[in-house]
C-alpha cells in the first residue's frame, strides 16, 4: 500500500469513529418519539358548550337559531335571562358565554341563562330608520329594529320561558349596532328588559337621532325602573354621540333609572366588548349578600 493510500485510510477511520458515536447513541437512547402517548384513531367527539334550537318567527318570517348557555347553578334553580343580539357561534356568543361561565364559577356575578340570537341580517334588524344617505349605504336594507324588538317581546322571551326555568328578570347586552338597538329599546320600550348594557353603541346613526331624542323619552317615562350601563373606547368618531347621550341622561334621567357611563380610553371599537362586558357583569350582577 502506498503512503498516499495509507493516509487516506487513516483519515477515513478517524472520521468513522465520531460519526458512529454521534448518530448511533442518540437515536438508540434519546429517541424524541419514544415518550409520545398513543392517540386514539377513532373519530373525535364534539365539544358541547350549550344548546341550540330554532324558532320559526311569524313576525320576522324567518327561521332563527338561538344559542343558550346554562351555568351549572341554573340547572336546579330559576335564573334570570341575559339576551344578546349578536349571539351566533361565529359572532359574540362564545366569548360572552366564557365570561358568564367564569363569573358564575368564581362568584363575581350572579348566574344568568345566556341567550344568543344568531343574526340573519344584522344591519337590517339592529337599526332604526334613517334619513342619512350615508347610513343607508352600509346595507341593502336597514330600519328593521321595531320588528326585531317585537320578535324579542312576543316570540323569543316566551319561548325561553317555556323551555327553561327562568325568573321574570331579564337583561340584554350588545356592542356596536347591537348597542344602538339596546339604547333605542330603552328609549321606546323601557319595560322590555330590566338591565341594558350598551357597549360602544353606534349612536352616530341617523345623525345622532337617539341621543337627541333621549330627553323627551325620559320625560315620557317618569316612572321608569331600569339599569343602564354604557361604555365607550377611544374612537373619536363615536365620542360625539356618546357625549350627547350622557349629557341628556344627566339632565333628564328619572330617579328610577340607575345608569353609569364607563369610558375605556385604552380600548378601541374592536377590542372593547370583552373587557367592558366583564366590568358590567361584575358591577351590575354582583352576587347579593346573604
- Establish if 11 belongs to a structural domain: no
Per cent of the chain over pLDDT 90 is: 79
The total domain count for the chain is: 1
* Residue among 173, 167, 175 nearest 201 (CA): 175
Three-state SS for 44-74 is CCCCCCCEEEEEEECCCCEEEEEEEECCHHH
* Residue among 31, 213, 51, 204 nearest 134 (CA): 204
- Establish if 32 belongs to a structural domain: no
Q: pLDDT tens digits, residue range 39-60?
A: 778 888 888 889 999 999 999 9
Q: pLDDT tens digits, residue range 175-210?
A: 999 999 999 999 999 999 999 999 999 999 999 999
Q: pLDDT tens digits, residue range 235-280?
A: 988 899 999 999 999 999 999 999 999 999 999 999 999 999 999 9
- Write out the three cell numbers for 152: 324579542
Q: How far apart are CA 219 and CA 83, in angstroms?
A: 27
- Establish if 37 belongs to a structural domain: no
- Establish if 175 belongs to a structural domain: yes
C-beta of residue 217 within 8 angstroms of C-beta of residue 251: no
By residue range, what is the domain housing residue 270? Answer: 51-284
CATH, residue 162: 3.40.50.1820
- Establish if 179 belongs to a structural domain: yes
Residue 16 has pLDDT above 70, yes or no: no
Q: pLDDT tens digits, residue range 220-240?
A: 999 999 999 999 999 988 899
- Establish if 56 belongs to a structural domain: yes
- Establish if 13 belongs to a structural domain: no
pLDDT of residue 39: 76
- Establish if 205 belongs to a structural domain: yes
Amino acid at each position: 500500500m502506498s503512503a498516499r493510500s495509507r493516509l487516506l485510510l487513516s483519515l477515513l477511520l478517524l472520521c468513522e469513529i465520531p460519526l458512529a458515536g454521534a448518530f448511533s447513541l442518540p437515536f438508540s437512547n434519546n429517541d424524541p418519539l419514544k415518550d409520545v402517548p398513543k392517540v386514539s384513531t377513532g373519530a373525535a367527539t364534539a365539544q358541547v358548550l350549550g344548546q341550540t334550537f330554532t324558532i320559526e318567527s311569524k313576525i320576522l318570517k324567518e327561521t332563527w337559531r338561538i344559542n343558550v348557555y346554562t351555568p351549572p347553578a341554573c340547572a336546579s334553580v330559576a335564573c334570570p335571562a341575559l339576551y344578546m343580539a349578536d349571539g351566533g357561534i361565529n359572532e359574540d356568543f362564545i366569548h360572552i358565554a366564557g365570561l358568564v361561565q367564569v363569573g358564575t364559577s368564581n362568584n363575581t356575578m350572579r348566574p344568568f341563562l345566556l341567550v344568543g340570537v344568531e343574526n340573519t341580517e344584522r344591519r337590517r334588524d339592529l337599526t332604526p330608520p334613517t334619513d342619512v344617505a350615508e347610513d343607508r349605504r352600509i346595507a341593502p336594507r336597514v330600519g328593521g329594529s321595531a320588528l326585531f324588538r317585537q320578535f324579542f317581546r312576543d316570540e323569543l322571551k316566551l319561548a325561553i320561558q317555556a323551555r327553561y326555568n327562568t325568573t321574570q328578570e331579564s337583561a340584554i347586552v350588545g356592542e356596536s349596532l347591537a348597542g344602538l338597538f339596546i339604547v333605542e329599546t330603552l328609549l321606546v320600550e323601557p319595560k322590555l328588559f330590566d338591565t341594558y348594557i350598551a357597549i360602544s353603541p353606534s349612536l352616530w346613526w341617523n345623525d345622532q337621532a337617539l341621543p337627541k331624542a333621549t330627553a323627551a323619552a325620559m320625560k315620557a317615562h317618569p316612572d321608569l325602573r331600569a339599569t343602564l350601563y354604557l361604555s365607550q373606547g377611544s374612537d373619536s368618531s363615536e365620542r360625539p354621540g356618546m357625549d350627547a347621550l350622557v349629557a341628556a341622561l344627566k339632565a333628564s334621567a328619572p330617579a328610577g333609572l340607575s345608569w353609569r357611563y364607563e369610558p375605556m380610553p385604552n380600548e378601541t371599537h374592536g377590542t372593547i366588548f370583552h373587557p367592558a362586558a366583564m366590568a358590567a357583569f361584575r358591577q351590575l350582577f354582583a352576587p347579593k349578600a346573604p
